[in-house]
């Protein structure tokens, strides 16, 4: 495996909830092969369970809970600039970033989504997939642009839906795949 030889790219991870992807990215970032170091975790929810992973690793945490993301984004952008954050990974972040924000980090924000994009953008993907009797589902890592879940795809993993799958089971199976492809997608971005 290739070892990343340059200085690691200072990265922020944005979360809102459980943070299993954050945990996984933290583990990845500590490996020699990782091109990123996670220097900041931002959450729009101070009760996000995932914050415990950042605390455990002593990664700086920033929490703003404004209802409107646009009202806090200037403040957030200033902090990201001050801290020289160069890359952002969204991992279960439940706010839509404004164009203003995305412009400043153009091509430097990526997201993970639990469906085979461009199918099933938005929320509640597993329920919709099951209701539509799909044979396959999966997950996608993509660049973030001004349209929801519509940026250029970096990596995707397809899985077959089992007869016994329900929302909970599918969520678990897809998350396992998410944890495999998110680091791979980051390696691809910086290869």
Q: Which residue from 47, 46, 55 is spatially nearest to 38, judged by alpha carbons?
A: 55
In the block, residue with structure tokens 């703003």: 64
- Torsion angle of alpha carbons 100, 104, 110, 114, nearest 10°? 0
Element (H, E) at 103: helix 99-104
C-beta of 21 vs 34, nearer to ligand GRF: 21
Name which of 62, 102, 65 is nearest 79 in CA terms.
Answer: 62
Report the residue from 113, 142, 157, 173 that binds ligand GRF according to the rule CB under 6 A. Answer: 113
* Smaller CB separation from ligand GRF, 19 or 183: 19
Total count of residues recorded for the chain: 191
Rounded to whole angstroms, the Cα distance separating 3 from 158 reads 28
Task: Report the C-alpha gap between 31 and 155 in whole angstroms.
Answer: 20
Q: Is 35 in the site for ligand GRF (CB under 6 A)?
A: no
Active site residue 113: yes
> Is residue 151 a contact residue for ligand GRF (CB under 6 A)?
no
Which member of 114, 138, 151, 183 binds ligand GRF (CB under 6 A)? 114
| Residue 138 interacting with ligand GRF (CB under 6 A) | no
φ, ψ of residue 104 in degrees (nearest 5): -65, -30
Q: Which of 11, 21, 43, 137 binds ligand GRF (CB under 6 A)?
A: 21
41 binds ligand GRF (CB under 6 A): no
* 179 contributes a contact to ligand GRF by CB under 6 A: no
The residue range among 28-36, 69-77, 111-119, 157-165 that interacts with ligand GRF, by the rule CB under 6 A, is 111-119
Q: Note the Cα 173 to chain centre separation in Å.
A: 17
User: Which residue, 4 or 153, is less far from ligand GRF as judged by CB?
Assistant: 153
Residues assigned a catalytic role:
113
Which residues are at the interface with ligand GRF (CB under 6 A)?
17-21, 50, 91-92, 112-114, 139, 175, 178
């Amino acid at each position: 495996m290739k070892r990343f030889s340059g200085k690691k790219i200072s990265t922020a991870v944005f979360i809102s909830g459980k943070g299993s992807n954050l945990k996984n990215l933290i583990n990845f970032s500590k490996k020699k092969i990782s091109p990123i170091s996670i220097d900041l975790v931002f959450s729009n929810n101070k009760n996000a369970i995932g914050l415990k992973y950042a605390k455990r690793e002593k990664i700086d945490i920033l929490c703003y809970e404004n209802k409107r993301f646009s009202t806090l984004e200037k403040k957030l952008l200033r902090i990201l600039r001050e801290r020289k954050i160069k890359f952002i990974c969204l991992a279960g972040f439940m706010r839509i970033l404004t164009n203003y924000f995305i412009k400043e980090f153009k091509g430097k924000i990526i997201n993970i989504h639990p469906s085979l994009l461009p199918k099933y953008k938005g929320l509640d993907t597993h329920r919709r997939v099951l209701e539509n009797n799909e044979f396959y589902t999966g997950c996608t890592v993509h660049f973030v642009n001004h349209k929801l879940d519509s940026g250029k795809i970096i990596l995707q993993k397809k899985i077959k839906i089992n007869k016994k799958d329900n929302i909970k089971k599918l969520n678990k199976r897809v998350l396992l795949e998410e944890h495999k492809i998110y680091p791979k997608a980051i390696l691809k971005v910086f290869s």
